[in-house]
Structure 1
Amino acid sequence: MKKILFFSALITGSLFFAQKAKVYEKPNYSINVPEGWKSTNDSEIVNIFPTSEIGAITISEYHGLALPKEEMKKFVLDLYKSIDPESKVKESRGKRGYTEYFYEYFDEKGKLFWITKAFQKDKDLYLVTINCGQKFWNGNYMTQFNETFNSFKIKK
């Protein structure tokens, strides 16, 4: 009985403290934006960030891009001028026929964490990144960034 009460209290507490979010809709994708965060659309590059501006999630979409699948890992590493081996960029088969690439990078000079997901199918590419200052990459900010990042959904 104590286990059931504990489990019920845990679920109720997590629902109580769960972050509210609004959905940012584009014709080809959607993403949940935490309440109180801002979003901008600068030349079709979307930035989502907390009001403290300690980091951001950036979404870029490209269509008609003739980037061979064999070059994607190198492309992701080149975004950061990283000398990491291509094996650090994880590749998996995603939903809706997209190949998903995942890469984590720490910029020693700027003290920034970068996390990138790239979704590629034919000549379509969606690039979704998190950048966040090292001293803020913990606790609530890390959770909010990851929940928002993981809520990205391609519609077509």
Structure 2
Amino acid sequence: MAACRPRLPPPRQRGFTLIEVVVAFSILAVGLGIMMQIAVGAMRQARNATEFTEAALYAQSLLDSIGVGERLEEGGDSGEFGERYRWDLDVTPYEAFSEGDAALVPEMVPITLYRLDLVVRWDRGVHTHEAHFATLRALTPDEGLR
């Protein structure tokens, strides 16, 4: 006679309940939403950086050409870079010496300093963005064309 084996209960089927599936999909949806917000923010920052870099390159080009070929004078000017960027420039005399500098008399220094303040503006949607740039330009008082 064969040995009698105890009868095992039938194997239970294992799986996920409906609540577990819903919770898993909810966590996935929240995670994907957060990741999309991060990606959109990164793209916005890249666009801002690109626009500011373009404005800075235009500003550098303009500031490098100011006073070349004609004498720099006090006043203001404005214009456009292409269709998108607008600029305003103010040129003002700059006094480099304070009243406490008794040893340095401005009349004895053979240069005139001008401060160039440049504002570049551009529109994106309903918002106007701007970048400010400033530099000093030194001229000799009797300097002709540069």
Task: State the TM-score bracket (shorter-chain normalisation).
Answer: 0.3 to 0.5
Greater per-residue strand proportion: 1
Choose 1 or 2 for highest CA Rg.
Answer: 2
Greater per-residue helix proportion: 2
TM-score by length of 2: 0.32
